[in-house]
Chain A
């Protein structure tokens, strides 16, 4: 796009209240870890605002690295990542933090502060938009607390707000974790194997929550999964990684067992399925 065209698109997008589309762009992103391991090899893809994308692949295929490059928890070796018009790969510290406040992340091991209450954990999602002094004093505004409580309510766990995180079950902890991401009022939610530590019924609850949030709030959601049945059930679009390379990108409806075998590079085994669908 030329400069003039770009301004034109931005202007019309601004006027119509739409976000610059696509929301996320990966341009030939490569990540090489010290020791020579190439986790990502020239990955390019775009994600539109409001999409629900599931990334599948074997362990070590690069799913986690891809997600972490988005908010630069991992530094890409080369390539560009553009989020909402901002070049994330070139952003300096302060700008990077601003971008991160717009991205909520959920982890396989929940990553809550065990000794703090659920509410406090969720409130820590507001830190990015608070001054350091206010943070040290614990000076959360009424709006902050309201946002946090609403986030807890959205994942139906408001009654556990004052419980210590380590007093909650795995599924409840993950929902607190989702609430923490929601409290940021983000544009994007990243979920790195969110259900790998949960039992089958709870996995479906959590995936259902993520899907519902995507629909009701319009938050772009990218989920890493290695359970292919969950991927097929919840994804709109499936991206397949193998050996650090993009090998599949298409609607979930078009995906069948053969596609997965191609992505995995082997036949499907029992441990690739989650099972335990409720009802």
Chain B
């Protein structure tokens, strides 16, 4: 009996110590690995230890290109056998910031994090300074503005993105509509009528909060002025509660267009029942003439359409005067940025992550991923591959002609969800325009 008691005491001690040692142990491991890193770095600054496989992860917040990105990761590992890259996805409609804060809270942040422009400044103290990377000098003008903080580049520009009405040229030809001639709300309505008369659905409105809140409504902010300083002033005034949207021309113009759009929506009877997937199918399989969306959805349209031409963008008109600012340009801006974590990843992993970014920009396979596989529009001058997909081509055309309007990258993080919900209510006629205006203004007044 006494022997048993001693044994049990011993076991309890062992258990407790095991638990304590468990905590301390991991620290030791990190220390050693850091030492190894320092050693290797001492030998040659950029080459990595060839015998060891370094595992890194990447958070992907563009669900549309998950498969392509996984393929790229595989190709990257073939070129660099000592690095293994895993891709974690934040689904379409889930805020990537939400995902990454959970991962940081768990002490398990990914080495590479693909985030929205507005998120990067919030993570500045956790991300690596990338100012000395090779690709910085090859990035196109202004593409690093959003992520340059105190003169340091904190993010890698993944792609240029644009949105507007995607049209199906085949349908428009049959209906006798020339998309380039649509300059006003009236023109657009005429086009919708013709498409309907030709036996097709005229328009698909995606009811997702991110589409309405992050892409559609901000057109009203961007078209306030062609001067971005002026737009910033407008947003600050909105925040201060000094703007009355009821009398705002651009906002009301956009909403007049939206009212008209609601009449021609193919999901008119139950607007909220439509899903992103059903919209993609309707567009790709030639059921509908127009759809308000961005070029990021091309891989899915292609799945149904199986052709690489016959689609393009037209702007969302905000008045009946063809010369008004905004009626001839589509919103084009930087879509996502990739940051490299320096808190939860050791130097070896950071170096591997840097290597992946460099591989994307400078290797043949990386460029192929960018342009041909993922249908992104790269923001790097050295990539000369021409985009194969018609939506990217269309955006490039708008860019060359200087017909773009600004995408505001500094909207508050929950803008799309909160204002998107108000827009959904307006879409199903649950609230009128006055209430919508009240809700939008109340959101801006209360935002932090």
A and B part of one assembly? no
